[in-house]
């Protein structure tokens, strides 16, 4: 049995949220790049008959939206033994405001999710998000970006970290970031930096004990620079260096300082094949060094991919690969090395009907206690747009985690019926 802030194990369920990603169109006038039909991903494609127009006020477009989801799960706690099924009703109102300037961009968004469980009402959650972002066109070849996000929600029951509380763990995430992009001729320079503050709320248990989640509160500063060169048309070779620094407010439950800093060096290629394939792929090396001698340095192969392929004008295939060092509440482990691979496919049956399938595999290797987790998921989605203002959808998804700790193994089937209104 693994040991965390309290003794035991048990996990579960993704946090509440709208079943369908935001499909509000980005303005196609002004500074936006007017890509052709074949160059646009199926899920992001604007269809004049079925995409919302928004409300124009001066040089801004406002897109209000509300979605109602009915979700049926056969394992809301993502538990190995305490399997419980329930029906969840989620209401998700939101609003997005986007600029339509000839130059520069501004975007503001606010959203919330209210999840109500029919039987296990202790699982009810509320989630709020406010985000502001912008882009400054310094010159034709140079842009600066910035964003700020406040997110007040709860940790998914299916989190790799054991969650034994009577209620989902509250989490507040505050993030600010800046970035720069300079792309003259065949040279392409990029840079970014961010500051993230994470605050976790303490939660009571069925035994009366309190889980000291506040010991997980921390600041994370990270950033990186990339230099790329176009070796042949539409193929950019690049090198990239990234760094992070993680500072906790307090030591963990046994008094060990979890502060750490890390580096990652990457080399790869950025593909920009018009109409067919775009994205990047890389390999490299990463390290994470911990201040306390209790935890050994974590190091290993770094790799990643973010590729989008449009084999036809009606089909989009996406591949995402990522390897990162993640913090954990397990007091015997310094962290876990997370390797995630996911494949998505979207196909446009008709302009208002899109069918999607996806599948993924992940591996979490805990550093220090020998625990390993293999995570699988897959499913399908059918999206139907009635007109510009109304849409619906049906989603099925399967989740499974196999662990060397028996109590952390689980599987879940989830079915969602969604109905949305937008303008």
* pLDDT 10s digits, 287-339: 999 999 999 999 999 999 999 999 998 999 999 999 999 999 999 999 999 99
Q: Is 407 within the bounds of a domain?
A: yes
**Structure confidence at residue 7 (pLDDT):** 32
Q: Is 23 within the bounds of a domain?
A: no
Q: Is 14 within the bounds of a domain?
A: no
Q: Is 16 within the bounds of a domain?
A: no
For the record, the structure tokens of 146 come out as 């910035």
CATH number at residue 276: 2.40.160
Q: Is 12 within the bounds of a domain?
A: no
* pLDDT 10s digits, 110-166: 999 999 999 999 999 999 999 999 999 999 999 999 999 999 999 999 998 767 889
Per-residue pLDDT band for 42 (boundaries 50, 70, 90) equals: confident
The rounded radius of gyration (Å) of the Cα atoms in the chain is 22
Per-residue pLDDT band for 17 (boundaries 50, 70, 90) equals: low
For the record, the structure tokens of 379 come out as 């499913």
Q: Please give the full DSSP string across 270-325, using - where no structure is assigned.
A: EEEETTTEEEEEEEEEEEEEESSTTSPPEEEEEEEEEEEEEEETTEEEEEEEEEEE
For the record, the structure tokens of 419 come out as 């109905």
**Structure confidence at residue 247 (pLDDT):** 98
For the record, the structure tokens of 218 come out as 């921390």
Nearest to 5 by CA among 191, 204, 153: 204
In this prediction, what percent of the chain has a pLDDT beyond 90? 82
Average of pLDDT values for 233-246? Answer: 96
Q: Give the number of domains in the chain.
A: 1
Domain that includes residue 339, residue range? 37-422
Average of pLDDT values for 28-50? Answer: 60
Q: Is 26 within the bounds of a domain?
A: no
Q: Is 247 within the bounds of a domain?
A: yes
**Structure confidence at residue 13 (pLDDT):** 32
Examine the pLDDT at 33 and tell me if it is beyond 60. no
Average of pLDDT values for 42-62? Answer: 91
Nearest to 65 by CA among 100, 99, 91: 91
Cα separation of 220 and 203, whole Å?
Answer: 23
Examine the pLDDT at 27 and tell me if it is beyond 80. no
Q: Is 349 within the bounds of a domain?
A: yes
Cα separation of 90 and 95, whole Å?
Answer: 17
Spatial neighbors of 90 by CB under 8 A, at least 6 apart, are: 16, 17, 18, 19, 67, 68, 69, 71, 113, 114, 115, 116
């Amino acid at each position: 049995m693994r040991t965390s802030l309290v003794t035991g194990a048990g996990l579960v369920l993704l946090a509440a949220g709208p079943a369908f990603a935001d499909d509000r169109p980005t303005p196609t006038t002004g500074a936006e790049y007017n890509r052709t039909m074949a160059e646009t991903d199926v899920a992001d494609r604007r269809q004049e008959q079925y995409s919302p127009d928004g409300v124009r006020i001066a040089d801004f477009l406002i897109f209000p939206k509300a979605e109602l989801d009915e979700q049926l799960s056969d394992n809301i706690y993502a538990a190995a033994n305490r399997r419980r099924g329930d029906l969840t009703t989620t209401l998700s109102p939101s609003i997005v405001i986007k600029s339509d300037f000839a130059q520069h961009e501004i975007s503001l968004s606010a959203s919330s999710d209210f999840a109500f469980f029919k039987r296990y009402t202790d699982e009810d959650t509320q989630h709020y998000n406010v985000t502001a972002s912008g882009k400054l066109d310094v010159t034709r070849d140079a842009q600066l970006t910035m964003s700020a996000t406040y997110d007040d929600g709860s940790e998914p029951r299916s989190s790799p970290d054991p969650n034994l509380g009577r209620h989902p763990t509250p989490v507040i995430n505050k993030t600010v970031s800046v970035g720069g992009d300079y792309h003259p001729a065949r040279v392409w320079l990029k840079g970014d930096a961010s500051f993230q503050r994470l605050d976790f709320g303490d939660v009571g248990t069925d035994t009366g004990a309190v889980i000291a989640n506040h010991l997980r509160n921390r600041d994370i500063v990270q950033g990186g620079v990339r230099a790329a060169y176009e070796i042949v048309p539409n193929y950019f070779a690049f090198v990239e260096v990234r760094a992070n620094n993680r500072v906790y407010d307090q030591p963990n439950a046994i008094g060990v300082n979890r502060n750490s800093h890390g580096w990652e060096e990457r080399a790869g290629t950025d593909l920009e094949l018009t109409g067919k394939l775009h994205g990047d792929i890389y390999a490299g090396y990463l390290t994470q060094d911990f201040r306390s001698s209790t935890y050994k340095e974590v190091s290993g192969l770094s790799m990643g991919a973010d590729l989008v392929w449009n084999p036809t004008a009606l089909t989009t295939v996406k591949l995402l690969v990522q390897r990162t060092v993640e913090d954990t509440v397990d007091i015997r482990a310094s962290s876990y090395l997370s390797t995630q691979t996911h494949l998505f496919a979207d196909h446009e049956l008709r302009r208002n009907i899109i069918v999607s399938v996806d599948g993924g595999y992940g591996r979490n290797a805990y550093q220090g206690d020998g625990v390993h987790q293999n995570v699988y998921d897959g499913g399908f989605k059918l999206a139907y747009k009635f007109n510009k203002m109304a849409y619906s959808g049906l989603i099925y998804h399967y989740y499974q985690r196999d662990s060397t700790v028996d109590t952390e193994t689980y599987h879940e089937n989830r079915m969602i019926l969604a109905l949305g209104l937008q303008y």
